[in-house]
Amino acid sequence: MMQSSVSISLSSFGAHLVRAQGQACFLPLVAQAGASHVELREELLEPDADLAAYRRQASALGLTLVYSSPLELWQLDSNRPQSQLATALAAASEAGACWLKVSLGHFTPNADFKALADQLKSSPVRLLVENDQTFQGGRIEPLVQFFAGARARQVPVGMTFDIGNWQWQGQSALGAAGQLGQYVDYLHCKAVRMNPESKLVAVPPERHDLADWARLLRRFPEGIVRAIEYPLEGADTGRVAAERVAELATLGREVAHA
């Protein structure tokens, strides 16, 4: 069985360092680590970012680009998609991204799916909606309602399933995978622990986390792109990144057909 594709979110190299050096500096490291995808973070972009340059650089390195935006798709007290969605789609397109990742926001059953479909039909970028860490966007029920509604209306949208984010709202990742796995295109991987300040934080996975993730993979399409979204730290960041990419690429192969 072939190895699965792996993405690295550029936030994994540390927000402070990435902002200081620029995300472009890290794309060669991502490619050298053996990743197939790189996740560009809108919140870490320089104010005068040349998105076309990111497209050219990613292409030259053989990387498929994913564009991540902190935008919430649905706003409070509105049944129409967030007005900035068009801007985010245009930015993702300029960067040459295959996917635009956003969060759900304040979805209600009265959401205007037609207005969403109208915005998406002219975009070459596929929209992915992620479970985030918020009450409105990090619980299973509203996400199931949204994706079921989108599918029933043939709205072309998929899911980014973040394994760790469910913990912020006390949700079961395994239960979420059972209900949402059919919609998932992209898998965000991070372990979560309580820090000394009693706050949940993303950390690299240990052996038991990887075993849990391998079981989760049974709920998703075979070969799904897995993204590193946890700290890549060490004296040799390149070596650490390469080891973690290889780890995710082969994860679950032995249970894929169990």
How many other C-beta atoms can be found within 10 angstroms of the C-beta atom of residue 255? 12
Rounded CA-CA distance 17/23 in Å is 9
Tell me if residue 158 falls in helix, strand or coil.
strand
**Helices 113-120 and 85-94 sit at what angle, rounded to 10 degrees?**
20
Domains belonging to the chain, first-starting first, are 6-250 (3.20.20.150)
| Interatomic CA distance for residues 219 and 7, integer angstroms | 19
Nearest-angstrom CA–CA distance, 165 and 104: 13
Rounded to an integer, the average pLDDT of 116-132 is 97
Q: Is the pLDDT of residue 247 over 90?
A: yes
**pLDDT of 35:** 98
Which of 212, 201, 214, 204 lies closest to 243 in space, CA to CA?
Answer: 204
Decide the pairing of beta strands 97-105 and 37-41.
unpaired
CA 14, 17, 21, 26 torsion: positive or negative?
negative
Mean pLDDT of 123-135: 98
Q: Are 69 and 101 in contact (CB under 8 A)?
A: yes
Q: What percent of the chain has pLDDT over 90?
A: 92
Check if the beta carbon of residue 138 is closer than 8 Å to that of residue 132.
Answer: yes
Instruction: Give residue-wise pLDDT tens across range 13-30.
Output: 999 999 999 999 999 999
> Alpha-carbon torsion 138, 99, 66, 79, what sign?
negative
Paired tokens of 223: 């070969």
pLDDT for 203-222, tens place per residue?
999 999 999 999 999 999 98
pLDDT above 60 (res 2): no
pTM (predicted TM-score): 0.96
Nearest in space to 165 (alpha carbons), one of 120, 113, 107, 101:
101
